[in-house]
Every structure is written in C-alpha cells, then in structure tokens.
Amino acid sequence: MSFTWPWALAALLAAPLVFAIWWLTRRRRRRAAIRVTSVALVRLALPGRVRWRRWIPAALLAAGLVVLGLGAARPQATVPVPMASATILLALDISGSMCSTDVDPNRITAATEAAADFIRSQQGGPRIGLVTFAGTAGLIVPPTDDTQALLDALEGLVTSRGTVIGQAILTSLDAIAEVDPSVAPTGAEPADRGQGFASSVIVVLTDGANTQGVDPQTAAQEAALRRVRVFTIGFGTTTPVPRVCDSTQFDGGFGPPGRGGFDRGRGRLAIDENALRQVADTTGGSYYRAQNADQLQEALGKLSGTFTFVNEQADIAAWFAGAGGLLIAAAVALSLWWNNRPSGRLRSGRAAGGG
C-alpha cells in the first residue's frame, strides 16, 4: 500500500492528543473529588459495570482517529480491475521443427488445435489477432472479433525455415497499435508511460530459439515501454523424434516431400527458456512450459483469466473514511449508552429504600 499525500499522516497525532486530553480531564476530576465518610455510600454510587468497559469507547475512538488519519493520506492499493476492452495477439511459431511428432500427430497440429479452442473460449470478449513467424513474421489476421476468420486462418498454416521471435513481437506491437490508440507503433516514441499495463497483450508460442533478426530482449523492451505484456509458451519435449508434416503443412522449398509429407530426420527440442522467461519478466508477463497438448491447453486456459483482469493502483481512501466513521460512531454510542444506563446497584438500592 502507498500514499498519495504522505504528509497527511501527521493527522495520526490526533489519537495521542485525544488520550492526553482524556487523561488531563480525569486528573482534574480526581482533584475535585468530594470527601465522604461512608465507603458504603461510595460503592452504592459507583456504576455497576466492569472497570475494563470504560476503556472500550476510548479504544474505539482512538482506532477511528487512526483509520481516518490513514485515509487522509489517500492510500492506494494494487487491486485487480476488469478490463474495459482488450486485444490479444497470438504469435505462433511455424518453423520446421513444429513438424516434430513428439506431440501427436505433430507440434503444429496440436498448437493450432489448442489455439482454436482458445479463440472459441474468448468469443464475445477481447479482439484477437494472429501473427505467424518462421524466417519472417507476418500479420495473418488483424485484431478482430470474427471468430470464424481466425479459425479459417489457422487451418492454412505452412511451415518454413527460421525462427524470428523478436520480429514476431514487434509485428504484434504494430498490429495492436492499429486498433489501440494507447499503444505507439514501433519506431515511434510512446506517449503514454503511466503506471499499470495496457489492455492489450501478446502471446508467443514457440518450440525453438531466435535464429535471426531482432533480439527477443530488445523487442521485449519495446513492448515494456508501451506497457504491453508478453506471455511466452515453450512447447514440445526433449525427446528426439522424426519431423513429419503432411502435404499441406510445408512449402515447396523447405524439403523433399515423402509419403503424405516429409521427414528431415530426428529433431531435438531447442527452446531458449531463459530468453522466453526474460521476455516475460521484462514486460510483466509470464512464461509457461507445455510438453504436450493437454499442458498447452492448460497454459492457454490460465492466460484467459490473466487477460480478463489487470492490476492497477486504486484509491481506497473512501474505505478508510467509512471504517473510521463507523468506529467513532460506535465509540460515541457505547459511551452514551453505558453512561446514561442506571447501575444495577442503584436500582436495587432504590427498590430497597422504596420498600
């Protein structure tokens, strides 16, 4: 918790001041005490309440003043706030290693199926765009709420050589800038550098490491300047397996097709997990590791809740004012009730005298 007006914390001095006034008042009362000759009369005149009850109103009053003093300093807390609008850019790796068969039937098929399920789960919510990357990165579908257009684009993905993770992040930023005025395009100086995050995010799904082009950390810094979070997912296992795609999942220049596709030997997972974690940490996102289709579905499911809410600094002074007012009201009410209530001894003494 932080304070907008920390100098207002001086109001907390009101609590000890009240106690000092209360102590001085009691001291004066003691000096002006009336001497009596009968202890029985004193006991009869004393209220019939327990000694500690006299401290409750004073304690409530002090607590109320402290809470009001804290509220005067305008406290702020980090709270989850629902996003008014959001844009999600899915950046999918379509390099040749995505043809690896350690995930049935291969990585690219499992990835596109998981992405399709994720897109369906967001229907009616944030806009979603699709970027694919191998040796280059390109915007396949601009951010849209047209679910069918996104699903159709996923069915036609073709693998190629190379992995340009950094360029994929920059391409995603430019796509977001087209629909989100608060996000500056790459090459432009960000105008909004306020606290919190933008309502737009990027999800990078890859099974490899950056092989050329812009360094991913450089791209992550550009995203961080625009307050755009980047969530990264490392996909695949470490088991060497054949890389096989069907005839619709590779371009003509990538390699010789075999029966129903091609097999270029046994590929090994080469995810640069450190780089993916750094990208996520730099931008305020998270890194997820998925070794199979189920874990990939789970990772995308966790991200869904992250997109719905964003942590922001909220002024909670009103809560302190309300709580402080209630405490002071309770102190006054209890003090009036107990002081005006006739004691049990006085009532019994009057009843005996009347009889």
Mind listing the pLDDT tens digit for each residue in 50-100?
555 666 777 777 777 777 777 777 777 766 555 555 899 999 999 999 999
Comparing 73-87, 96-110, 149-163, 184-198, the range with the smallest average pLDDT is 73-87
Mind listing the pLDDT tens digit for each residue in 313-333?
667 777 777 887 787 788 778
**Arithmetic mean of pLDDT over the chain:** 78
Q: Are 5 and 73 in contact (CB under 8 A)?
A: yes
Q: How many CB atoms lie within 10 A of CB 280?
A: 20
34 band by pLDDT with thresholds 50, 70 and 90: low
**In this model, does residue 161 exceed pLDDT 60?**
yes
CA atoms within 13 A on the CB side of 226: 29
pLDDT at 342: 56
pLDDT at 265: 45
pLDDT at 37: 52
Q: Are 320 and 68 in contact (CB under 8 A)?
A: yes
**What is the distance of C-alpha 177 from the center of its chain?**
22
What are the DSSP E strand ranges found in the chain?
A: 2-3, 75-82, 87-93, 127-133, 137-144, 200-206, 229-235, 241-245, 262-267, 287-290, 309-315
112 band by pLDDT with thresholds 50, 70 and 90: very high
Q: What domains are defined for the chain?
A: 2-73+316-354 (no CATH), 80-312 (3.40.50.410)
Is the pTM above the cut of 0.85? no
**In this model, does residue 344 exceed pLDDT 60?**
no
